[in-house]
Amino acid sequence: MRVLIADDHTLVREAITALLAAEGITDVTGVDSLDQALSTVQRMPGVFDLVLLDYDMPGMDGLQGLSRIQAAMGAAPVAMLTGIASAQVARQALEAGARGFLPKTLTGRSLAAAIHFIVAGGVFAPYDLMAAEEPKASGPLTRRENQVLSGLCQGKSNKEIAQDLDLQEVTVKLHVKTLCRKLGARNRTHAAMIAQDRALIA
């Protein structure tokens, strides 16, 4: 497995490289800017199994940097690294197609496990972070939430809803959680019952 780490802090790159090496992931390349990451990927097409991209790195311009790396990587996964973990940022990154959101506070073992999971085709986001820092939901349902709610009312699984809406399954899970909060539902089944009782779905 070959990993490219793009982070503008040398100590962070070295620390992550050392943590991964201790877990058996030894083929790691480090660069200190978005431009270097792009040039490295373009110079070595098809070489890297995963790019870990620092969200707070200069030149990233929010999630635009993610889109540029994704275009260069093709079908290969790109995941975000961040030192200041935010559920809102994580949600936006996953919506934009990031295959993972990895706080720099993860242990070496957890980081290596997340990398293996992502390379194998999964999407990684720490549940504790997403649950603890998710903003309180209120107000009317968004268009996307209505679409997810419609899927719940049809008895579809998160995976089926994700396929229908061209979303990541983890994103659907977040929408279901928000729906339950907004509707005061105990679970997805209860949310569907409330929606039918209130005629929320045509």
* Residue 159's CATH number: 1.10.10.10
Q: What is the pLDDT of residues 13-61, one digit of tens each?
A: 999 999 999 999 999 999 999 999 999 999 999 999 999 999 888 788 8
Measured distance CA(26)–CA(151) in Å, rounded: 43
Structural domain for 155, as ranges: 143-197
**CATH code for the domain of 104:** 3.40.50.2300
Nearest to 145 by CA among 87, 86, 201: 201
What would the pLDDT profile of 171-194 be if each residue is shown by its tens digit?
A: 999 999 889 888 888 889 888 888
- Asked if residue 138 is part of any domain, the answer here is no
Chain center to CA of 55: 12
- Count up the domains in the chain and report the number: 2
Tokens standing for 159?
A: 């995976």
Cα distances from 89 to residues 10, 125, 150, 161, 165, in angstroms, run 23, 11, 26, 23, 21
pLDDT for res 132 = 54
Q: What is the pLDDT of residues 149-170, one digit of tens each?
A: 999 999 999 999 999 999 888 8
Q: In the numeric block, which tokens belong to residue 187?
A: 């679970």
CA distances (Å), origin 184, targets 59, 180, 187: 41, 6, 9
Range in 66-70, 139-143, 178-182 with the lowest mean pLDDT:
139-143
pLDDT at 136 over 60: no
In a domain, 54, yes or no: yes
Instruction: Verify that 29 and 112 share a domain, yes or no.
Output: yes
Per DSSP, 199 falls in state T
Q: Is the full-model pTM beyond 0.85?
A: no
Integer Cα distance of 189 and 42 in angstroms: 47
Does 134 score more than 60 pLDDT?
no
User: DSSP string spanning 100-113?
Assistant: BEEETTS-HHHHHH
